[in-house]
Amino acid sequence: MKLNRNFIQISTTAMVTSAVFVTYLSISQPNVTQTAKARSEAISWDEAQRLMLAFKDFRPLRVKYPDPANADQEIKEDLQGFVFDANHIREILNDNHSKETPDEIVFYLGQSGVFPDGFLHRSGIINMIAVGSKDGQLLITDKTATSAGPSIYDKADPCPPNCSR
């Protein structure tokens, strides 16, 4: 009889604690139900910095690169963005190998591996892929070609370390 009463007390305490914890998390989290914007729009640099800070504060992606001051060491930092070669963007827009002029450029995220990033944590080696799109269709003429094939670019340089100053 005493065991049943203790079990009920422990179970009730666990349920109340869980309810309080879940309620706290739902109240304290930022508005995660906000939907993505359907189309791009011009924003101020202040707004862009606010969005970047919100990304960095939430759960940033990470990068790892050699320390320029000490080749034996690596630096791990929060990913801020990617840097694309302007000529690659020009090719997608003006000299697309599909022979069509895109009305959009689609940027996809990919992953080419992982690296250890602290105790029991791993971060992905993130890639950004750019490809032109017209009327909602990707401009891909040959899905396997890499040379003189579709105008698709990978390996945008991560920022850091390749940030504009």
pLDDT, tens digit, for every residue of 5-54? Answer: 676 777 667 666 666 555 555 555 555 445 555 566 788 888 888 888 88
CA 122 vs CA 5, 12, 100, 161: distances in Å: 44, 37, 41, 19
**Alpha helices of the chain — where are they, by DSSP H?**
2-28, 45-58, 86-94
pTM across the whole model: 0.63
Close Cβ partners of 65 (under 8 Å, ≥ 6 residues apart): 74, 75, 158, 160, 161
**108-128 residues labelled b (16+ CB within 10 A) or e (exposed):** eeeeeeeeeeeeeeebbebbb
